[in-house]
Chain A
Amino acid sequence: MRVKSVFCAVLLLAFGSSVALGAGPMTGKSVKVGVIADVTGSAGAYGNSQKNAYELAGDDLKAGLIDAAGASLTFDVQDSASDPNQVVNLVQKFTTDGSALMIGPTLSSEAKKADPIAVGKNLTILATSNTAQGITTMGSCVFRDSLSEEQVVPQMLVKMEKAWKVKTAAIIYGDDDQFTKTDFDIFSASLKADNIDVVDIKTFHKGDVDFKAQLTAIGEKKPDLLVIGALIEEGVKIATQAKQLGFKGHFAGGNGLNSPKFIDLAGPAGDGVIVGAAYYLGDTRGGNKTFVERYTKKFGKAPDQFAAQAYAAAQVVAAAIKGGATNSGQFCSFFGNMKPLMTVLGPVSFMSSRDVRADSAILEVSKGAFVPFK
């Protein structure tokens, strides 16, 4: 028994992201949050950003930059290796190990297998990167702080139409990935609503590197706008190769492209791409400036949207603890009644559908940086 507890303590020291110090009304209370992230495997780049964010949140709790009213708040980040079976096993772990809240998993397709298990055990869930439809409807305590593109894309198209008189568009998207397929659904509905003619639709598969066949076909139709429904890896190559092939129209993309990595990878080819997103790196509200500086210092790169949404979740959780929540039921009712809370994403609260109410960011890549699109 003693060996076991020593072992547990060592594990906690090694892997528990944080133990909050400092006095406050919640001093002596401890809250463990179970986080499921795809740190390795095919979605490793996104899960890693999330893991980084909770590590930093741990540091920031100690440094007093996040205030959990003196409670000891731990983010138990576990890697699900982009494997739905591991996700399911982790949910089961978190429903039985005293976790007060579950954050994650990284992908919507994982969430649809995992969340019902947590819901069945009355464990409150806060999703930070699930964008598919039907996530928060899985249970009355399933929340998400990731803005749906439905809340961003229509405004974005209005702005683009005003700026450039867009009449025709083509869409290229990944049809084997939920994230990018959702992009397509939302963009095509919004384009239709705006009477923009969709002249061509082409698809690709996750992991493709060569898009010249699709882009050559699209180029023939000379659309005013090319909508890219992709995550950065593919999005960068699509923008680059389209420019190489002499495409002269404008580019638009969704959340998937909102990462400083897009700029690193695309270089000058990224310029002029418009991104409808949920986070603006240059935002100065909610401690974002400090967050960006500290994250960049700790990990050698600027945070992406996945990291920001995860860090915002940590801010929301700390606020809930400050508001007296220490167990699953209390988290659920706190989130449901939360007044807009200032986070790195700007003011955040939850609608009655448990989806997030937050500002959208319509950004333009200009001279190697994301700037607000006017």
Chain B
Amino acid sequence: MLVQQLANGVFLGAVYALFAIGYTLIFGVLDILNLAHAAIFMLAAFVALSLAGLGVPLVLAFALALVVAGLLGVLLDRVAFAPLRRRNAGTLVPLISSIGAAIIMQGVARGIWGPDEQRFPANALSTAEIHIGSLTVGALDVVILAIALVLMGVLSYVLRSTALGRSIRAVAADRVAAALLGVDIERTIALTFFIASALGGAAGILIGLQYNSVSLDMGARIELKGLAIIILGGMGSVTGAVIGAFLLGAVETLSVAYISSSYRDAIAFGVMFLILVLRPTGLFGKRALRAA
């Protein structure tokens, strides 16, 4: 049973990690908590679902929905964050404007897709299972884990080894200095939003596929844990977020299996609380993105 539970924890962790990496990127670069990330996550899943429903092949629907999510992120920045950035409004105020933006997106989604939970067309997915000894693993879970790992790898590579990544890191480190060095700040921020939101959208679609469920509150229900993960990981640390995500997946699964399912979330938040008390700036310290 332990092996099966550990496998359950890994797949759950992958889900959390996917959600968290886009989230943490915006957090690291702009120092703001973007509570509309969860709404974009949800909208992307609905867009992909609608496209798949129209008969668009799943891979293409996935790609198109990512672009939509990315553009929504850029729009979100222009509407809800850029005006505040120009006025140096601090970190709390953008948090509230992102809540406002999230309510609008939620309302729009309710208007377009209705209040009910939906699923991808029945034939769009593989329901095959892989059995290794007593271990049962869905083929889809493995594919999703692989995609999640690839996306995380690509993001790390972009941040570390490309010109864009250098610009992003420079803006994260010191916006004024970056501007002096000739980095186009607004363009870099727009691209950051595009990448982060596309990643959030990818998470929404993959989670929608994995659990075969797309619903209005799919973002809200993962939001708090996503928030916990990125802060636990350390401000803007992609590695920290990934490790935090797998840690959370494992803690949750094991506490259900061996302690108490009723106290699962209390245990998960308790572990997070303890780690923060011991390491007040998260697992990977402050400003990890600078050194990413």
Interface residues of A (CB under 8 A from B): 39-40, 42, 44-45, 47-48, 175, 202-210, 212-214, 216-217, 220, 232-233, 236-237, 240, 244-246, 261, 264-265, 267, 301
Contacts and interface: CB of A to CB of B under 8 A. Distances in A.
A245 B114 CA distance: 32
Given A213-B256, A213-B257, A264 B12 contact: no
Contacts of B5: 213, 216-217
Given A205-B265, A210-B211, A264-B119, A244 B138 contact: yes
Interface stretch (B51-59, B181-189, B214-222, B270-278): B214-222
Contacts of B129: 244
6 contacts: A207-B217, A213-B253, A213-B261, A214-B256, A265-B212, A267-B122
Contacts of A244: 127, 129, 136, 138
A32 B92 CA distance: 45
B15 interface: yes
Contacts of A265: 117-119, 212-213
B66 interface: no
Interface string B96-124: 00000000000100100011111100100
B77 interface: no
A202 B261 contact: yes
Contact of A209 (B9, B211, B256, B265): B211
B212 A44 contact: no
Given A205-B265, A209-B221, A244-B138, A301 B116 contact: yes
A236 B213 contact: yes
Contact of B1 (A40, A45, A220, A237): A220
A175 B127 CA distance: 30
Contact of B8 (A40, A42, A210, A261): A210
A203 B257 contact: no
B115 A45 contact: yes
B207 to A, nearest CB: 7
A208 B261 CA distance: 12
A41 to B, nearest CB: 9
A219 B97 CA distance: 46
Contact of B207 (A208, A209, A214): A209
A203 B263 CA distance: 9
Contact of A48 (B4, B114, B211, B212): B114
Given A40-B107, A209-B221, A216-B4, 12 more contacts: A48-B114, A204-B261, A207-B217, A210-B15, A212-B8, A212-B253, A232-B117, A233-B213, A237-B213, A244-B127, A246-B136, A265-B213
